[in-house]
Amino acid sequence: MAKENTEALFEESSRGGVSAITAVFFVLSIVLSLGGIVLMSYGFNITVGAVTELWLFVGGLAASTIGFALPFTVLPALGK
Q: Are 67 and 29 in contact (CB under 8 A)?
A: yes
Confidence band (pLDDT; 50, 70, 90) for 60?
Answer: very high
Residue with the bigger pLDDT between 3 and 29: it is 29
Query: Residues 3-19: what's their mean pLDDT?
Result: 66
Q: Is the pLDDT of residue 1 over 60?
A: no
Amino acid 10: pLDDT: 63
Q: Is the pLDDT of residue 63 over 90?
A: yes
Question: Collapsing DSSP states into helix, strand and coil, what is residue 18?
Answer: coil
Is the pTM higher than 0.85? The answer reads no
Q: Are 29 and 63 in contact (CB under 8 A)?
A: no
